[in-house]
């Protein structure tokens, strides 16, 4: 009989010990503690301690920080840049927009984009510089406004005028035609030649150009076309002698011209 070797697999009949499993509540407790720690850090660590600003053309860094009015100790993410921008516009009207950078754990950095004065108008006996959106920017002397090349506006009745905010007109229908006309004016190559735009009556728009020419548009419709017609007419040699003239542009198919130094520009 052949002898056969017997091999053992090494497996014991006894059961191997099982790995210990943690109860589910332990994992839930760990997750809860991690969330609680994150919330605590968020609310108690990220508190504003430093507010900085880059100086702009009209305002120092200190003035801008003061205008931002961000309290010490307020949470870094508890307020919006839009609210800060609104406060800064009221205190520093030339502020057009801001970029606010939050750096953890405690720093705010504000960078300002300033608005530009384009127009000026008289309000309650004072002369104010206005932005393209008719925001009140600053009081100034009329001679300074002219020296800076700002365009004079005579506006319809005004209901509300607050520095740093757009003018509000008494009649709601005034809003659309005023902005439409001024958009056409700014887009026109006549813009730099204009001294004044009279917008008080939407049926009788008047502009003064080169300190010599009274442009009567009639209704405010077709303003862009009428500006192009005025520019073409004023190229005529008739106007080379610097004599006052009145151009009637109400009828876009026929422009009448009166040349007379006695013409009133008011």
Q: Give the tens place of pLDDT for each residue, 66-86.
A: 999 999 999 898 899 999 999
**190 CB-near residues (< 8 Å, 6+ apart):** 209, 227, 230, 231
pLDDT at 197 over 50: yes
Look at the chain and count its residues: 266
Distance of CA 225 to the CA centre of its chain: 29
Q: Where are the domains of the chain?
A: 50-114, 119-259
* Confidence band for 12, pLDDT divided at 50, 70 and 90: low
pLDDT of residue 18: 62
Q: What is the mean pLDDT of residues 115-143?
A: 96
Tell which residue, 147, 115, 143, 144, has the closest CA to residue 131. Answer: 115
Q: 3-state class of 104 per DSSP?
A: coil
The span from the first CA to the last CA of the chain, in angstroms, equals 138
Distances (CA, A) of 93 to 31, 60, 113, 131: 49, 13, 11, 10
In sequence order, the β-bridge partners of residue 158 are 169
- Number of Cβ within 10 Å of residue 243's Cβ equals 13
Angle value at C-alpha 230, between 155 and 265, nearest 5 degrees: 50
pLDDT of residue 241: 81
Domain 50-114 belongs to what topology? Ubiquitin-like (UB roll) (3.10.20)
Distances (CA, A) of 239 to 22, 183, 213: 97, 27, 9
Tracing tokens 């205008």 back to the chain, one arrives at: 67
pLDDT of residue 166: 96
Tell which residue, 250, 246, 224, has the closest CA to residue 234. Answer: 246
Rg (CA), the chain: 36
- Assess whether the previous peptide bond of 105 is cis (omega < 30° from 0): yes
Say which range, 38-47, 49-58, 61-70, has the weakest mean pLDDT: 38-47
The arrangement of secondary structure in 119-259, i.e. its CATH architecture, is 3-Layer(aba) Sandwich (3.40)
* Confidence band for 1, pLDDT divided at 50, 70 and 90: very low
Residue 47 has phi, psi (to 5 degrees) of: -115, 140
Q: What is the mean pLDDT of residues 183-208?
A: 97
Tokens linked to 160: 């509300």
Q: Across all residues in the chain, what is the average pLDDT? A: 90
Residue 22 has phi, psi (to 5 degrees) of: -80, 145
% residues pLDDT > 90 (the chain): 76
């Amino acid at each position: 009989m052949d002898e056969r070797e017997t091999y053992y697999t090494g497996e014991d009949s006894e059961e191997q010990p099982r790995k210990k499993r943690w109860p589910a509540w332990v994992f839930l407790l760990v997750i809860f503690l991690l969330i609680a720690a994150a919330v605590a850090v968020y609310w108690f660590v990220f508190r504003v301690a430093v507010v900085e600003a880059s100086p702009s053309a009209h305002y120092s860094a200190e003035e801008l920080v003061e205008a931002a009015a961000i309290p010490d100790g307020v949470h870094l993410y508890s307020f919006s840049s839009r609210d800060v921008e609104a406060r800064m516009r009221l205190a520093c009207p030339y502020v057009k927009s801001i970029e606010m950078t939050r750096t953890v754990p405690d720093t705010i950095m504000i960078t300002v984009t300033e608005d530009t004065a384009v127009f000026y108008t008289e309000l309650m006996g004072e002369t104010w510089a206005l932005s393209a959106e008719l925001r009140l920017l600053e009081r100034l002397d009329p001679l300074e406004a002219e020296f800076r090349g700002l365009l004079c506006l005579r506006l319809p009745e005004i209901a509300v005028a607050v520095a740093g905010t757009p003018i509000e007109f008494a009649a709601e229908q005034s809003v659309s035609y005023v902005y439409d006309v001024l958009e056409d004016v700014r887009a026109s190559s006549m813009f730099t030649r204009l001294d004044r735009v009279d917008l008080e009556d939407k049926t009788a728009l008047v502009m003064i150009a080169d300190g010599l020419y009274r442009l009567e548009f009639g209704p405010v419709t077709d303003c862009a076309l009428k500006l192009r017609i005025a520019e073409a007419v004023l190229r005529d040699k008739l106007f080379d002698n610097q004599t006052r003239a009145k151009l009637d542009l109400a009828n876009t198919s026929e422009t009448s011209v009166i040349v007379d130094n006695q013409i009133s520009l008011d």
